[in-house]
Amino acid sequence: MDKTKGGASQKAARITPSPKQDYYIEWGEPLPESYGDTKIILMPRDPRWAYAYWEITNETKENIKKKFGNDIFQKSRFTLRVYDVTDIQFDGRNAHRHFDLGITETADNWYINMGVPERSYCVDLGLLTLSGDFIPITRSNVVHLPRESVSPVTDEAWMQIRSEFEKMMKLAGLDKTGISSAEAMKILIQRIEKIAPISSGGLSSTTSRGKMKKVKRFWLMADTELVLYGATERNTQLTIQGQHVPLKADGTFSLRFALPDGKQEIPIVAVSKDKSNTEKITIIINKKTK
């Protein structure tokens, strides 16, 4: 691969099949050295770092010289100006904060330490003059960096109907073994896989010559889940089937239930913050699988 300014060019090549090969690799056309467009692209890398790459055409540079003087590039430094634009419609002047990074004239990409995770940023590529004036050349897209820790917001809380799990334990003879629920679940899964292995390729067996012989199996699996959602006042104490359910900031909630055959009753109770009001909804579901 040949490295060139503004990008990486790759020579087109084709590996033709040899007597022992039945494939070839098509690399396609070489990538261009540039795309003829002045722009900067910003991409998030991790909670604190982002990556920017850019291109400035000769036409753009000539226009800058005409406007600010032929020696403008000698009297200024290429600079990345980073803006924190979290939750605002950025107009170039209303950023929460900004900082500058001086870069070399020949650079066409840069890793940027944004400093604060879980914020939105954009970047101007421009010139910083000796007098401290900033001349923007092109502006990037806006990116949002992820948080550093696990999010406390749960879009869908997964719940298991304990009574159904206990029935499975009894049927499998695991209810009196004293093993943990996690260990019991592993055993149940292993037994189910032996009965109906989940595999798109079927089973394989070894022949006397050491080769793998495919054994085709035809099978079908189907199951259902229940998605329960709703909303109430933000400070409400909410319980579903007697279990406390945390609300999102706007008072909404969303949960997912296993849905076995039979009749299921799902009581939903909301109690106001001062406990003066209570509302209850009971959802009744009958499922029958044939």
Beta-carbon contacts of residue 239 (< 8 Å; ≥ 6 apart): 245, 268, 269
Question: In 148-276, which ranges are E strands?
Answer: 157-159, 203-206, 212-215, 225-231, 237-240, 243-244, 252-258, 262-271
196 exposure class (CB count in 10 Å sphere: 0-12, 13-18, 19+)? exposed
For residue 66, give the H/E element and its range: helix 58-68
Q: Tell me, what's the pLDDT at 151?
A: 55
pLDDT tens column, 88-116: 999 999 999 999 999 998 899 999 999 89
pLDDT of residue 29 exceeding 60, the answer is yes
pLDDT of residue 258 exceeding 90, the answer is no
The number of C-alpha atoms within 13 Å of 186 and in the hemisphere containing its C-beta is 4
Pick the most confident of 34-38, 129-133, 188-192, 197-201.
129-133
Residue that wins the pLDDT comparison between 185 and 76:
76
What is the percent of the chain with per-residue pLDDT over 90, rounded to a whole number? 38
- Scanning the structure block, which residue is given the tokens 């939903």? 268
Q: Tell me, what's the pLDDT at 56?
A: 94
Beta-carbon contacts of residue 281 (< 8 Å; ≥ 6 apart): 230, 267, 268
SS3 of residue 40 by DSSP: strand
Report the alpha-carbon distance of residue 123 to residue 139 in Å, rounded.
Answer: 6
Q: Tell me, what's the pLDDT at 112?
A: 94
Judging by DSSP bridges, how do beta strands 262-271 and 203-206 pair with one another?
unpaired
Q: Tell me, what's the pLDDT at 200?
A: 38
Q: Tell me, what's the pLDDT at 218?
A: 67
Per-residue confidence band for 6, with pLDDT thresholds at 50, 70 and 90: very low
266-273 mean pLDDT? 91
pLDDT of residue 225 exceeding 80, the answer is no
User: Which one, of 1, 125, 111, 132, lies nearest residue 55 by Cα?
Assistant: 125
| Dihedral angle of Cα 226, 223, 261, 193, to the nearest 10 degrees | -130
SS3 of residue 252 by DSSP: strand
Query: For residue 86, what are its two tokens?
Result: 């979290």
Domains in the chain, ordered, with CATH? 29-144 (2.60.40.10), 152-169+222-290 (2.60.40)
| 69-103 burial code (b ≥16 CB/10 A, e <16) | eeebeeebebbbbbbbbbeeebeeeebeeeeeeeb
pLDDT tens column, 133-192: 999 999 999 999 988 765 555 555 555 555 566 666 666 666 655 655 666 666 666 666
Report the alpha-carbon distance of residue 76 to residue 63 in Å, rounded.
Answer: 16
Report the alpha-carbon distance of residue 59 to residue 54 in Å, rounded.
Answer: 15
pTM beyond cutoff 0.85: no
